[in-house]
Amino acid sequence: MFLNVVLRTFLFSLWKCFTEERLLLPQQGSEMFHLQSITLQELVPVSGFLMWFLCLGSSVCLFALLFGVVWSITGQECLPGGNLFGLVILFICSVLGGKLVGLIQLPTLPPFPPLLGMLLAGLVLRNVPYITDAVFIDTHWSAALRNIALSIILTRAGLGLDPSALRRLKAVCVRLAIGPCVVEACCVAVVSHLLLGLPWTWGFILGFILAAVSPAVVVPSMLLLQREGFGVEKGIPTLLMAAGSFDDILAITGFSTCLGITFSTGSTWMNILKGLLEVVGGVIAGLILGLFLVWFPSRDQDLVLRRTLMLLGLSIFSVFFSHVIGFAGAGGLCTLVLSFLAALGWKTDKAPVAAMVGRSWDVFQPLLFGLIGAEITIATLSPSTVGLGMACILIGLVVRLLVTFLLVHYGGFNLKEKFFISVAWLPKATVQAAIGSKALDMAREEGDEALMKFSLDVLTLAVLAILTTAPIGALGIGLAGPRLLARQVKGEHTNVCRCSRFIPDSLFTVESPSQEKRWTTKPRLPVTTTPFKKKTA
């Protein structure tokens, strides 16, 4: 440790000497000596390789120093087989996997979602024989990190809700947000009960997990089509992005209610009553905490940082505290309500808070998908479970496709547009990763082998749904969009993106200024007139 510190100090001093420190040398050429200021680098020429080597050595020494400090505090936890070592390796591999998958870009197609690479990274680390022994993460650590990621997802969902959209959304968007989600959840519950032998409550848990559409796949694909002008005349990209948020909230609400009923003890009616109490209690607690965030902190403080910390802190506390008191389903609803109410009170000031919450999601997204992939052990999977599970997923997707097509039938769309909306409503990823393992965590706390088997089957099907529908959905949207949607040529109408008869103006949002592109007519040049002169003979 002492040698690392000395070496790092020496290299840093040498680097400063070569770059910044000035030497005063006498200069001849006049009667008096003048002082000439030069650098040591001018006296001793240094090659670019040596400078690169000095920088690399400094970085290596700094990393060694950091590792030494952590090792001296945590001991075996940061060595192979420890939790800290496993988390760091999992995070790095998940980030690299996401970057590699994001680099796969085909012409005229949207990029593959990086979450696939993150999920596969965790799956590989879990199932490679020698690596799985070194990369070990305790189940309590894994469950805690996944719950934190779930809190961040629910917070972002609450902040993203538009109150004007809740008041002004037309029937087609309401049908698109509610109908396919409820019908697919019921269909999957029935099919899983018949094929996999899941109890009815577990069937509905699986149904609501699989029924949520993935904004991580739909939103980037829709933004790409919107920038190219496909479907913007009828507001199809904006319609899908708006309805996706409500679809996810409905699925999470149904999942939380069924989860509370499943893990309750007592009679069936008491379990149903407890599930309803969890919904009501979560909403009331969210209203109280949301009103608190509207008024505190006061405006004479650093609002953005304090509001972000208080919002995330209360959201995480709600999710964990609901487990402590035995009302696990109330935490998610409380987080949704408090973030929505806080954003409603902050009005236009919510944008910087939402941006900071998004940065926290950038950190926990690789951890979430990596941990989800690491929960699946391929050697323990039953071929019959995988085969019947894929049958459940496919049947649910077919039913969802048909229901979506029927529900947008009277929305003013032609046949090609109806088919595109149905295809775009299939991908699954984010919500499945966030809530897919929640039942497994609760089953481990109960210590019941039967409950653990059911919850592991649910998690396996959630991972299979992500691996199959996320890439297929992204490719389907990219291939079908330019072929099935009408393209709005630039300059035909004014503010085409806002002229949809289904979506209000307030739902028109872009992620960054570089992504904003409006289709407007060119301004007309001013017409100059000359006075009329009579001809003279």
pLDDT for 230-251, tens place per residue?
Answer: 888 887 887 887 788 778 888 8
- Name the token pair of 347: 């009005």
Q: Tell me what pLDDT residue 399 has.
A: 94
Q: How confident is the model at residue 48 (pLDDT cuts 50, 70, 90)?
A: low
Mean pLDDT on 99-118: 78
Q: Determine which of 48-57, 252-261, 376-385, 408-417 has the lowest per-residue pLDDT on average.
A: 48-57
pLDDT above 70 for 342: yes
Mean pLDDT on 6-25: 47
pLDDT above 60 for 521: no
434 vs 38, more confident? 434
Q: Tell me what pLDDT residue 493 has.
A: 46
Q: Name every residue whose Cβ is closer than 8 Å to that of residue 332 and which is 6 or more positions away in sequence.
A: 150, 154, 252, 253, 256, 282, 319, 322, 435
Smallest CA-to-CA distance from 114 within 380, 493, 368, 414 is with 368
- Name the token pair of 151: 């809190």
State the greatest distance between any 2 C-alpha atoms of the chain, in Å, as a whole number.
112
Smallest CA-to-CA distance from 480 within 409, 417, 413 is with 417
Find how far residue 296's CA is from the centre of its chain: 27
Most confident among 148-157, 166-175, 295-304, 500-509 (mean pLDDT) = 148-157
Q: Name every residue whose Cβ is closer than 8 Å to that of residue 455 and which is 6 or more positions away in sequence.
A: 439, 440, 442, 443
pLDDT tens-digit profile of 439-477? 888 888 888 888 888 999 999 999 899 888 888 888 888
Q: Tell me what pLDDT residue 270 has.
A: 73
pLDDT above 50 for 498: no
Mean pLDDT on 183-202: 93
- Name the token pair of 123: 């799956």
Q: Say what percent of the chain tops pLDDT 90.
A: 17
Mean pLDDT on 484-503: 53
Most confident among 196-205, 353-362, 428-437 (mean pLDDT) = 196-205
Cα separation of 362 and 510, whole Å? 18
For residue 84, the SS3 value is: helix
Q: Name every residue whose Cβ is closer than 8 Å to that of residue 132 and which is 6 or more positions away in sequence.
A: 125, 126
What b/e string do you get for 436-457 counting C-beta neighbours within 10 Å, with b at 16 or more?
bbbbbbbbeeeeeeebbebbbb
Q: Tell me what pLDDT residue 193 has.
A: 93
Find how far residue 473's CA is from the centre of its chain: 17
**Strands 34-39 and 22-27, how do they pair?**
antiparallel
Cα separation of 289 and 337, whole Å? 9
- 8 Å CB contact between 458 and 209: yes
Q: Say what percent of the chain tops pLDDT 70.
A: 77
Q: Tell me what pLDDT residue 526 has.
A: 47
- Write the Ramachandran bin of 29: left for phi over 0, alpha for psi from -120 to 50, otherwise beta: left
pLDDT above 80 for 390: yes
Question: Distance of CA 389 to CAs 71, 381, 456, Å?
Answer: 44, 11, 12
pLDDT above 70 for 494: no
pLDDT above 60 for 138: yes
pLDDT above 90 for 400: yes
For residue 235, the SS3 value is: coil
CATH of 140-515, one of 1.10.287.1080, 3.40.640.10, 2.115.10.20, 1.20.1530.10: 1.20.1530.10
- 8 Å CB contact between 98 and 113: no
pLDDT above 80 for 54: no
Q: Determine which of 116-130, 260-274, 385-399, 422-436 has the lowest per-residue pLDDT on average.
A: 260-274
Most confident among 159-168, 371-380, 416-425, 429-438 (mean pLDDT) = 416-425
Cα separation of 185 and 208, whole Å? 5
pLDDT above 90 for 207: yes
Q: What is the CA radius of gyration of the chain?
A: 29
Q: Tell me what pLDDT residue 477 has.
A: 86
Question: Is 22 exposed, middle or buried, given 0-12, 13-18 or 19+ CB atoms closer than 10 A?
Answer: exposed
Mean pLDDT on 115-143: 84
pLDDT tens-digit profile of 16-36? 544 444 444 444 444 444 444
Q: Match 């269909």 to its residue by tokens.
A: 187
Q: Tell me what pLDDT residue 268 has.
A: 67
Strand-pair partners of 36: 25
Mean pLDDT on 210-217: 85
Q: How confident is the model at residue 208 (pLDDT cuts 50, 70, 90)?
A: very high
In single-letter form, the type of residue at position 446 comes to E
Q: Tell me what pLDDT residue 383 has.
A: 86
Q: How confident is the model at residue 135 (pLDDT cuts 50, 70, 90)?
A: confident
pLDDT above 90 for 188: yes
Q: What is the DSSP string of 480-510?
A: HHHHHSPB--TTSSSSGGG--SSS-GGG---
